Structures are given as C-alpha cells and as structure tokens.
Amino acid sequence: MSDEINQKVINIFSKHKKDLPSEHKERVKFFAGFNYVKLDKDTNGKKFKPENLEKYAQKCHYIVRVMRNIDDETVLYNYDVSNDKLFSFIKAFENNTLNGTIIEIDKYFPEDLA
C-alpha cells in the first residue's frame, strides 16, 4: 500500500481509540474477531446512497499480491480481481485451491489507467 493510503487507514483507528466523548458515534468496536468503525455519513456529512456505493463497487478492481516459494525462490504473483470476485478469490486460499501468502491488496479503477 502506498504510505498515504496506509496512513489514512491507521488514522481511522488511532483517532477513534482515544477516549472520545460518549456521544461520539464513530467509536472503534470489535465483532467477529475484527475491529471496525461504523460510518453513517461520507466525508461531506451526507448520508450514504446505496445505489452510489454499488456503482462504485462495480467499477472497483483489486491487485492482490501473493507470495509463493517456488524452487527455493520467493516470487510474487499479482492477480487482477474484480470487486464481485474478491471474496471468492480469498475463499480459494482457505479451500487450498490457491496457495501462498497474501501480501497486499491494492484497490484501483481500470478506467483511471493512463
């Protein structure tokens, strides 16, 4: 991940881990083994619209970097995975259809490429 994106992710959780007033809605919570922050408005203070989020998700792709050891050499595989197939891709590792270690997942939009 780029340092800028990495810092944004870190800031989401570090900002909320501090002792915030009890009326603050964006508190770090824990469920099913994971920390999360619930967001009910965008950065402009507007409520989310499901149709806009779904359009965004349909355009989104991920480059998933997977490390494997082949013939005593460490190699990286870069997979292009569309948003609708991301869960299936990750599930393939759990089912041992794919093997290796997921190193990084980067989001990108194919139409934004030069």
Convert the pLDDT of each residue in 46-95 to its tens digit.
999 999 999 999 999 999 999 999 999 999 999 999 999 999 999 999 99
Contacts of 72 (CB under 8 A, 6+ apart): none
Reading the block at residue 47, the tokens are 């409520």
The kind and range of the H/E element at 41 are none
- Is 6's pLDDT higher than 90? no
For residue 24, pLDDT beyond 70: no
Q: What percent of the chain has pLDDT over 70?
A: 75
Kindly report which listed range (4-8, 32-36, 86-90, 98-102) carries the lowest average pLDDT score.
4-8
pLDDT of 36 higher than 70? yes
Q: pTM for this one?
A: 0.71
| Top CATH class, 60-114 | alpha beta
In which residue ranges of the chain is CATH 3.10.20 found? 60-114
How far CA 96 is from CA of 43, 71, 92, 100, in Å, comes to 39, 19, 6, 9
Question: What 3-state class would DSSP assign to 70?
Answer: strand
What average pLDDT is seen over the chain?
84
